Amino acid sequence: MSFRRSLLTVCATAVASMVFLPHAALAQSSMVLKAADVHPAGYPNVVAVENMGKKLDAATKGRLKIQTFPGGVLGGEKEMIEQTQVGAINILRTSLGPIGTVVPEVNVFNMPFVFRNQEHMRAVIDGPIGDELLAKISASPAKLVAIGWMDGGSRSLYTKKPVRTPADLKGQKIRMMGNPLFVDTMNAMGGNGISMGYGEVFTALQTGVVDGAENNAPSFFTSNHFSTGAKYYTQTNHLIIPELLVVSKATWDKLSKEDQALMKKLGREAQMEQRALWDKSVEDYTAKLKMAGVEFINVDNKAFYDATATVRAKYGSNYTDLMKRIEAVK
């Protein structure tokens, strides 16, 4: 009897395994991917990822979905990168700055006037150089898989006094992103670069801690910085920095090869879709800024380009070949 009971137990266990294993496998393959961004709902990056989610849902018949968390609700960019590295966030739109510590080559894109204009930048990220850097990021210790680029626009100055030449920046404290390269860029352009978090800029402008800042037109408007008295927008276009769409490596490794290929395809589509949305938003927000009384100042960029030659020499010395390749892209 003892032997018979043991045999029955083994058989029952085998049958249970046959019944429940497929359901377990199905549960594991169904995922709701959390996608995060510091930018608000309706921003081109956020909309592009939302549309990517609709395509992913349709292509996998609901097995893979994307839920977006815009507006920095999951933390600042630093915190969200850390969450993505451990898989708590699955998809993230991130700036290049933090990635440069593990993939130094991407720092080339952070240098002032490394791109002639926005069209030149797009030609670079759409071509072999862009693909090579995505692959380097994915193969790096960053624990992030890069599936596409996003357009971060051209960054220009907004100040409380008009700026037309580097000399006009003398004595003005200008907020820059937290990277020595960016602070050095502003110092070279004639101002006093102040490293400061994005969330602190509004109050700093209001209280006079800084005299101005720099960013693209959509961010200038959505941040409401124009309401602080920074009514002059000098179109230096000194920084044209692409951004990244990444997937957590922890999440990526759970996907099948077919799902990984689908994610790369949709990432590339999101890259192109975000660009069209971006161009429309720049047009719309430029009109809104002008209606709010902001004066757009067109300048000869050569004076600012020449002033920042020392920055390119300092930070680009290890990447001279890559910079030559970028310059050669038509």
258-284 per-residue burial string, b: 16 or more CB within 10 A, e: under 16: ebbebbbebbbebbebbbebbeebbee
At 24, is the pLDDT very low, low, confident or very high (cuts 50, 70, 90)? very low
**Collapsed DSSP state (helix, strand, coil) of residue 105:** helix
Burial class (CB in 10 A: 0-12, 13-18, 19+), 189: buried
Q: pLDDT confidence of 88, banded at 50, 70, 90?
A: very high
User: 């310059």: which residue's tokens?
Assistant: 327
Residue 101 near residue 140 (C-beta atoms within 8 A): no
Comparing CA positions, the residue from 256, 32, 268, 49 lying closest to residue 147 is 268
For 28-152+241-283, CATH gives: 3.40.190.170
211-231 mean pLDDT:
95
Give the pLDDT score at 99. 86
Residue in the structure block whose two tokens are 């496998």? 25
**Residue by residue, what is the 3-state secondary structure of 242-293?**
CEEEEEEHHHHCCCCHHHHHHHHHHHHHHHHHHHHHHHHHHHHHHHHHHHCC
| Confidence (pLDDT) at 102 | 83
Listed by start position, the domains of the chain span 28-152+241-283, 154-240+285-328
By CB atoms closer than 10 A (0-12, 13-18, 19+), residue 217 is: buried
Task: Report which of 163, 205, 209, 161 is spatially closest to residue 186, judged by C-alpha positions.
Answer: 163
Q: What's the residue count for the chain?
A: 330
Provide the CATH topology of domain 154-240+285-328. D-Maltodextrin-Binding Protein; domain 2 (3.40.190)
Q: What is the pLDDT of residues 249-289, one digit of tens each?
A: 999 999 999 999 999 999 999 999 999 999 999 999 999 99
How far, CA to CA in Å, does 161 sit from each of 3, 11, 301?
92, 83, 18
Domain pair 28-152+241-283 / 154-240+285-328, same fold: yes
pLDDT tens sequence across 93-152: 998 878 887 888 898 999 999 999 999 999 999 999 999 999 999 999 999 999 999 999
Lowest mean pLDDT among 8-17, 132-141, 142-151, 187-196: 8-17
Please say whether the dihedral angle defined by the alpha carbons of residues 229, 235, 241 and 247, taken in this order, is positive or negative. positive
